[in-house]
Amino acid sequence: MENFKKKIQRRFYLCLMFCGSGSAIYWVLKNVIKDVPEFSRGMIAGVYTGMVFVAALLMIKYLILLRSEDKLKAEYIKTTDERNIEISKKTMGMSSIICLVLTGLAVLVTGFFSQTVSTTLFADMSISALITVLVNVYYRKKM
């Protein structure tokens, strides 16, 4: 249980570091790079705001867990439950395959309209496939 508490504390500090360093990087890039189109600026600001919002929600969740032994214990049971772990494994594996297949279809469709978009999606698909393979190799050696 003490290891789980340390894990939650680590996650809290990672979220805190993300909010701090992410804000610093965003502010510096926003002020240094001036010729970014308005649409891109809005898109970047929206994605950044969403990421910070999620990190803040997670920090609140982690603080609540760290302050209440009962809630921490309930979360520990929930995260170590074998059924939940198996569901998570199946979900991640299937969603990875679905994302790769849909990205492959998007590469085919966008190839008729824009070479740049098609090439970008192909690069994304290739990197995602490589990550999937590398993670698979890592866990096969580890377990």
Helix, strand, coil: what percent of the chain each, to 5? 90, 0, 10
**Per-residue pLDDT averaged across 105-117, rounded?**
93
Contact yes or no for 117/110 (Cβ under 8 A): yes
Domains in the chain: boundaries: 1-80, 83-143
Measured in degrees and rounded to the nearest 5, phi and psi for residue 33 equal -95, 110
**Per-residue pLDDT averaged across 93-97, rounded?**
90
**pTM beyond 0.85:** no
Query: What pLDDT, in 10s, does the model give residues 40-76?
Result: 888 888 989 999 999 999 999 999 999 999 998 999 9
pLDDT, residue 20, reads 87
Task: Check pLDDT > 90 for residue 120.
Answer: yes
